[in-house]
Structure 1
């Protein structure tokens, strides 16, 4: 499977929304993604494509000297093919290419697959946000990864 990773474009939004709805119980709106791409100068988003179709995406914000991962998703039909790994590697490479000290994210405490993925890339548990997820009150695990400082 030849997967390509590239920056997300406005034209990707139809496929992004399909994945968003299939991946999350409280999906972001199309307007939220449009805002990220058009107005949020702190946002960095990547897509994974296979034969020209978006099959995964990941995004983050860069704030001062830290990066905050906002979302990672892979189309259900393509899970298990290490696509999330490629997306994580793209996010981390972005962080390592500049003077960022670290990356952070929140993940549902019950999302063991995602937690395992993040741990594989050096993220460690920093704390818990009680009742963070509005759909069911589930706690979020806050995770952190140190990055190379290229100052």
Structure 2
């Protein structure tokens, strides 16, 4: 992700979340947060999604992931997650974690397909509706690397 992507990131955020991150938050992540790593996925040179994580010691924590509604169902989310998992591994991460809404069954199925397992619940995690979040973890090992996305 580059600073020039931020206008498009804001559009994806607005279309994807009831409480979207402000553009300034992404700016701060890119400019000031040395733990942050953000990747975009493009279709025909147009940013259609992104994923970010913080790498702290050997653990990667996914901060956010979104795919533009026009591009959902095309496999971009899976390819993006596989890429990010490999990036985290290449930077020294051995495990990755994330939170997902209990109501977001599509995302849960994707994460389980990628090897994430449920490890707990964060009560009332989401501020917009006080929905619980499922905490999921995956070990980043050789197996995930062999099934990684290797294209654009």
Q: Distance in 2 between matches of 1:147 and 1:34?
A: 28
Query: Which of residues 100, 103, 107 in structure 1 aligns to 2:100?
Result: 107
CA distance in 2, matches of 1:75, 1:96: 26
Is 1:25 matched with 2:40?
Answer: no
Deviation at 1:65, TM superposition (A): 0.8
| Structure 1 CA distance for aligned equivalents of residues 92 and 5 of structure 2 | 29
TM-score relative to the length of structure 1? 0.91
Runs of 4+ in 1 over 4 A off after TM superposition: none
Q: Deviations over 1:30-65 (max 9, x none)?
A: 110000110011111110111111001111000111
TM-score scaled to structure 2, two decimals? 0.91
Unaligned regions of 5+ residues in structure 1, if any?
Answer: 1-7
Q: More helix by proportion, 1 or 2?
A: 2
Q: How does 1:1-151 map to 2 (within 5 A)?
A: 8-148=1-141
Count of aligned residue pairs for this structure pair: 142
8 Å contact kept, 1:100–1:148:
no
Q: CA deviation at 1:148?
A: 2.7
- The alignment partner of 2:26 has SS state of helix
